[in-house]
Structure formats: structure tokens, C-alpha cells
């Protein structure tokens, strides 16, 4: 697995979310090879244990519908950190948005 930056992670998570909505194969999603899908699912399941939900609700809130999906999600992640909206899992500090994207991955 290659080293993935925070921006790369967000782009890949957004790509997975969009691909899941479109029914596209995850293997064709840019950046997917660099993500530990099992790790993302583990984080997602942990988040869902605290915040029960379903894929439809998460998709409706997280799947980008504009021309700058990564930019919009990046702004939400930044806002989460600024407002202290964090999810801590096994010593990892993630924004609520990042954790919710992992939750969506765990449901697809």
C-alpha cells in the first residue's frame, strides 16, 4: 500500500461514495488502491455503533452533487476540526465528515 495524504484520503473516500451511488466498481475509483478498505470499514462500523444510521441517509448528506465535490468535503472537514467535531478511534483523530464517509464505506 502506498502512503496516502489526508487530501488523498478525502478524495478517495469521496470517490468511493460517488461510485457507490452510481453503482460503479470500486476498483475504478481513483485512489481506491491506496485505501485500506478493511481499516476504513472498521472506523465506519465504530462510528455507526455510536451513531446508528443507514447508507441512504449518509449518501444524501455526504455524496457530492456539485462541480467541486472534494472541495466541498474538504471545507466540511476543515469546519469539523475548527468546531471540535471529532471522532477518535484507536488513537486516530478524524473529523466527523471523514468518519461518516468511512461509515458509508462500511455499509456498501
Round to whole Å and give the CA distance between 56 and 61.
9
Q: What is the pTM of this model?
A: 0.65
Largest separation between any pair of C-alpha atoms in the chain: 35
Is the model more confident about 84 or about 55?
84
| Average pLDDT score, the chain | 73
- According to the per-residue pLDDT averaged within each range, which of 27-31, 54-58, 61-65 is highest? 54-58
pLDDT at 63: 72
pLDDT band at 19 (very low <50, low <70, confident <90, very high): low
- The three state secondary structure string of the chain is CCCCCHHHHHHHHHHHHHHHHHCCCHHHCCCHHHCCHHHHHHHHHHHHHHCCCCHHHHHHHHCCCCCCHHHHHHHHHHHHHHHCCEEEECCEEEEHHHHHHHHHHHHC
C-alpha atoms less than 13 angstroms from C-alpha of 14 in its C-beta half-sphere: 21
The answer to whether residue 47 scores a pLDDT higher than 80 is yes
Q: Percent of the chain having pLDDT more than 70? A: 60
The answer to whether residue 78 scores a pLDDT higher than 70 is yes
Round to whole Å and give the CA distance between 54 and 105.
11
pLDDT band at 82 (very low <50, low <70, confident <90, very high): very high
Alpha-carbon dihedral sign for residues 36, 41, 46, 48? positive
Amino acid at each position: 500500500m502506498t502512503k496516502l495524504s489526508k487530501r488523498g484520503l478525502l478524495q478517495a473516500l469521496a470517490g468511493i461514495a460517488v461510485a457507490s451511488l452510481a453503482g460503479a466498481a470500486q476498483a475504478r475509483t481513483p485512489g481506491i488502491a491506496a485505501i485500506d478498505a478493511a481499516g476504513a470499514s472498521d472506523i465506519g462500523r465504530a462510528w455507526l455503533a455510536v451513531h446508528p444510521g443507514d447508507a441512504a441517509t449518509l449518501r444524501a448528506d455526504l455524496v457530492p452533487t456539485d462541480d467541486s465535490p472534494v472541495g466541498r468535503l474538504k471545507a466540511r472537514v476543515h469546519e469539523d476540526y475548527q468546531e471540535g467535531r471529532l471522532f477518535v478511534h484507536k488513537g486516530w483523530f478524524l473529523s466527523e465528515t471523514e468518519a461518516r464517509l468511512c461509515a458509508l464505506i462500511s455499509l456498501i
